[in-house]
Amino acid sequence: MDTIIVASLVSLGGIGFFAAILLFGAAKKFKVEEDPKIDEVNEALPAANCGGCGYAGCRNFAEGIVKKNSLDGFFCPVGGNTLMKQIAEIMGLTAQEKEPMVAVVRCSGSFKNSPAKNQFDGVSSCKSAHMLYAGPGGCPNGCLGLGDCVISCPFDAIKISSETGLPIVDEEKCTACNNCVVACPRSIIELRNKGKKNKRVFVSCINKEKGAVAKKNCSAACIGCGKCVKECPFDAIVLENNLAYIDFEKCKLCKKCVLVCPTGAILAVNFPEPKKVESIDKKELVESKREKIETPNPTQKNMKNSEDNSKESNSEKSENPSQNGALKKSDENNSTKKELSMEER
């Protein structure tokens, strides 16, 4: 019995030892040499694994950079330009700066602008609701407000507003990872340049229906009138399929398109509020002007009175020439009498 146990142990140990030698030899022979720079780049990355760079994770992103030995086409939206400069130092390359971007919700179909005509009673998901019906306000391209974008964001940078029913993006938290863009079934969310001092001008509508139909479902819809296209001096606006689109690379933030938009579909974000001008009633303005015309200044009044008096005196003189002559003669006689009296003295 003991010999059987010992033999079994020896045989099992021999098999294990032989298998270990085989595995060791195979590992040595088929060993894959990995560049140590991959670990260095991976350590510099934020380890968010958000997929905003286009790779499955930060490790794959680092491997792609090291294998290609180039930063062309590589950008980490979480780390931004500062992180890419660090990676460039590790790799001995130069990194091109990229304009910071932010997620923009291109829909103004709030509870006020697009009142609910029906209520969705089903799975609380934008994807499922998009397949079943147009939306609570009737717009087939408007935001459904069920929060697929909120769930997809790994940085808690987006939420649904209880006042409007639309997503609100926190610009400080948003890293432009593109997850919310992919999650939205109606492509309402777009990545756009943050702009100078976070100022942006964009068309907050993606409805391609004709003007009357679009306006019926939402008061702030783009009706495709083309006024913004004519007004833009930089050719930054294009009108296609009844919908205007502003190219953020050409836009100079002049806001002329905002002023001419009849429905308010074009929004200007993070601009200072214009100074309020008190509205003056036209009737009051006309009456005040009339009073100014009818009531002259006191100086003008005195001048007029003096002119009138002088005119009256002149007219009286002209009317009585005989009296004027007699007065002149009496004045002459008085003067001669005074001269004679002076000589006698």
Q: What is the mean pLDDT of residues 32-37?
A: 81
In a domain, 282, yes or no: no
Mean pLDDT of 39-61: 91
What is the per-residue pLDDT for 143? 95
- Residues 232 and 247: their CA atoms lie apart, in Å, by 11
Residue 332 lies in a domain: no
Mean pLDDT, residues 312-322: 48
SS (H, E, C) 83-140: HHHHHHHHHCCCCCCCCCEEEEECCCCCCCCCCCCCCCCCCCCHHHHHHHCCCCCCCC
Judgement on whether residues 41 and 117 belong to the same structural domain of the protein:
no
pLDDT of residue 44: 93
Q: Which of 98, 122, 141 is the last residue of a domain?
A: 98
User: Final residue of a domain: which of 98, 124, 146?
Assistant: 98
| 245 vs 309 pLDDT, higher one | 245
Determine the Cα–Cα distance for residues 239 and 265; give it in Å rounded to an integer. Answer: 14
d(CA 50, CA 71) in angstroms, rounded, equals 19
What's the domain count of the chain? 2
pLDDT value at residue 171: 92
Q: What is the pLDDT of residue 263?
A: 95
In a domain, 115, yes or no: yes
pLDDT at 153 over 70: yes
Could you tell me if residue 185 is inside a domain?
A: yes
How is 169-206 classified by DSSP, letter by letter? E-TTT----SHHHHH-TT--EEEEE--GGG-EEEE---
pLDDT digits (tens, 9 = 90+) for 155-203: 999 999 999 999 999 999 999 999 999 999 999 999 999 988 899 999 9
In this structure, the answer to whether residues 157 and 109 fall within a common structural domain is yes
For residue 45, what are the domain limits? 35-98
pLDDT at 217 over 80: yes
